[in-house]
Homo-oligomer: A and B are copies of this chain.
Amino acid sequence: MDLSEFHGFLSNRTSIRSYTGEEVEPEAIAFILSCASTAPSAGNLESWDVVIVTDPDRRSQLAEAALDQVHVAEAPVVLVVCANYVRSMSRYGDRGILYALCDASIAATYMMLAAHSSGLGTCWTGAFDDEEVRSVLDLPQHIRPVVLLTVGPGEQTSGLTARLPVEEHVHLESW
């Protein structure tokens, strides 16, 4: 892949919290999920699950669980990506907690970039009450919601926010 094109692709993604109200085609969701399934995972266990939420009432309940962030209610689709602790811990014990959180984060990153490649906006929404989200979605206790990824046609209102200079969190050979 052309490097400057790939860098531009990543740089053009910003968090979208303003949605047009248009729907997302089922084919677009299928594409996003198909991309996510190519993500690596610890031991190839794919210790993640996703709940696709489109129902407006449930989106509103999720928005409440997310400290009243309105974009969660307004986005036509919310992909609730979860760590499946049992799937990972059954092989790896306590270490499986880290693995499941990473598996879910990698898969959600793939979803975010797949949506972006489809021209859809996303917002990685991490601020929510775990128990309220569990209650809204009937998640078992061994399933931890990691991110509410809102997805939909949206309006980009600004460019990438300022980033730390690379050298501020890069270390050579040791800390």
Contacts and interface: CB of A to CB of B under 8 A. Distances in A.
A98 B117 contact: no
Contacts of A105: 101-102, 105-106, 109
Interface stretch (A17-25, A48-56, A68-76, A150-158): A48-56
B174 A124 contact: no
Nearest to A106: B109
A148 interface: no
Nearest to A28: B3
Contacts of A127: 42, 95
A80 to B, nearest CB: 9
A51 B170 CA distance: 6
Contact of A175 (B37, B139, B173): B139
B173 A53 contact: yes
Given A105-B109, A117-B6, A161-B44, A55 B166 contact: no
B44 A117 contact: no
Contacts of A118: 3
A10 to B, nearest CB: 5
Interface in A122-175: 124, 126-127, 136-140, 143, 146-147, 160-164, 166, 169-175
Interface of A: 1, 3, 5-7, 9-11, 13, 15, 31, 33-35, 37-40, 42, 44, 46, 48-55, 58, 84, 95, 98-99, 101-102, 105-106, 109-110, 112-114, 117-118, 124, 126-127, 136-140, 143, 146-147, 160-164, 166, 169-175
20 contacts: A6-B114, A13-B40, A15-B40, A34-B166, A37-B163, A38-B160, A38-B163, A40-B124, A42-B126, A49-B170, A51-B174, A52-B172, A52-B173, A58-B174, A95-B127, A101-B101, A102-B146, A137-B175, A138-B174, A139-B175
